[in-house]
Amino acid sequence: MPVRVSFLLLPAFAVLLLLLALPLLILLASSVDSSRQPGPLAFDFTLRHYGEVFYDSYYLEMLARTVKLSAIVTALCLVVGYVLAVALWIAGPRQRVYLMLIVVAPLLVSVVARTYGWMLILGERGLINTSLLSLGLIETPLRMLFTDGAIVLGLVHLLTAFAVLSIHASLEKIDWEIVEAAVVAGAGPLRIFAAILLPLSLPGLAVGATLVFSLAMSAYITPALMGGNLSAMATLIYQKFMVSFDWNGGAVLAVVLLLAALIGVLFIVMVAMAFGRPRTPREGAA
């Protein structure tokens, strides 16, 4: 039986190995291989490409900027996601279906359509500006697109769904009677949130934060379209590969970005564990 079962796993593992694991290895190797990419690997270790890329502090600044934007996006997604996850949790069955559709809607349309929608609203000749102008509230159009705020807005809009779904998965495990027990004990909404819901949904918050953070770090189309010249690390990687055809440099930046995302994820997990239930219980009464 197990023999046959592993036989069934063969296609999936072949796909994962050939199309994901091996390519990732090649990406990693290209960043430390002396060969010029694209081309066959020379299997000769060098850190030269890293030196070339980080000779200039520009990319490090860009990395710092990307980390900062991703952190802001993550924080906002968690706040927005928490509100919507709670709404989803307390909604009746009918309402929940609509809410779920609304939450995942941004994930279901292509990034181009979604960003175009924001352009229609925020652009120099977008709905907000034309309305404000015609009402005489402003004289020159507000600059909303091509700002850091626009990048954050676009990413939060896209990635909130991941936070909502993760947090909701945690909330769903909380027995409603626990909330009622707190209510009967006299607790108000804020205390219920802080003392009951927040600690119990910490795993969901952590999962949501890691997903949102790593996806925000590697998002490149939304920043490119909504940020204009202001951009993010991932956008630079795209340019390295597809515009300046510097594949070695691109591979270096991609590896650095992946490492930074990994460090961020580890950081989130550590924070979550520090706030989680202490291993040695706190001193109680008695």
Partner 1 sequence: MSRGLFAWVSTLLQVWLLLPLAAIVYASVATDAVPVFPPTGITLHWYAAAYDVGSFRRGLEISLIVACLSTVLAMPVGLTAALALARWQSPWRAPIETALMAPIFVPGLVIGIALMMAVAASGLDIGFGRLILGHTLMIFPYIARTTYASLAVQDASLEEAARTMGAGEFRIVWSVQLPLARPGIVAGTIFAFIMSFDDVPVALFLADARTTTLPLAVLSYLEYNFDPAVAAVSAAQVIFTFFAAVLLERLFGLKRLWGAGNG
Partner 2 sequence: MAELVLDCITKRYGGTAVVDALSLSLPSGKLLTLLGPSGCGKSTTLRIIAGLTPADSGRVHLGGRDVTALKARARNVGMVFQSLALFPHMSAADNIAFPLRVEGVSGRDRDRRVGKALDLVRMGGFARRYPDQLSGGQRQRVALARAIISNPGVLLLDEPFSALDRRLRDEMQEELRSLVGRLGITTVFVTHDQEEAIRLSDLVAVMRAGRIEQLAGPRVVYNAPRTPFVADFMGSVNFVEAEIANLAGDQVTVRLGQSAFAVPRPTDLDGAPDLGVLINVRPERVTLADTPPAAGPALAGTVTNRVFDGAFVTYTVRLSERPERSWIIRRLSSEGPATASDAVWLTWPADATQVMVSHANRSSNSR
- Please give the residues from 194 up to 213 whose contact with partner 2 meets the rule CB under 8 A: 195-196, 199-200
Site for partner 2 contains 277 (CB under 8 A): yes
Q: How near is the Cβ of 81 to partner 2 at its closest, in Å?
A: 21
What string marks each residue from 125 to 164 as x (binds partner 2 by CB under 8 A) or -? Answer: ----------------------------------------
Cα separation, 35 vs 14, in Å, equals 27
Tokens of 33: 């291989």
DSSP 38-96: SS-----B--HHHHHHHTSTHHHHHHHHHHHHHHHHHHHHHHHHHHHHHHHHHS-HHHH
Contact partner, 205, from partner 1, partner 2, none, Cβ < 5-8 Å per class: none
Contact residues for 118 (Cβ-Cβ < 8 A; gap 6+)? 145, 150, 153, 154, 157, 226
C-alpha radius of gyration, the chain, whole number: 23
CA distance 253 to 63: 9
Taking CB under 8 A as the criterion, the residue among 46, 147, 218, 239 binding partner 1 is 218
With 0-12 CB in 10 A as exposed, 13-18 as middle and 19+ as buried, what is 286?
exposed
- Are residues 137 and 190 in contact, defined by beta-carbon separation less than 8 angstroms? no
Among 20, 42, 195, 262, binds partner 1 (CB under 8 A): 20
| Binding-site member from 3, 190, 274, 286 for partner 1 (CB under 8 A) | 190
Instruction: Rule CB under 8 A: choose which of 50, 54, 75, 106 binds partner 1.
Output: 106
The binder of 200, among partner 2, partner 1, none, by C-beta within 5 to 8 A per type, is partner 2
Q: Is 93 in the site for partner 2 (CB under 8 A)?
A: no
202 binds partner 1 (CB under 8 A): no
Binding site for partner 2 (CB under 8 A): 175, 177-178, 180-188, 191, 195-196, 199-200, 277, 281-286
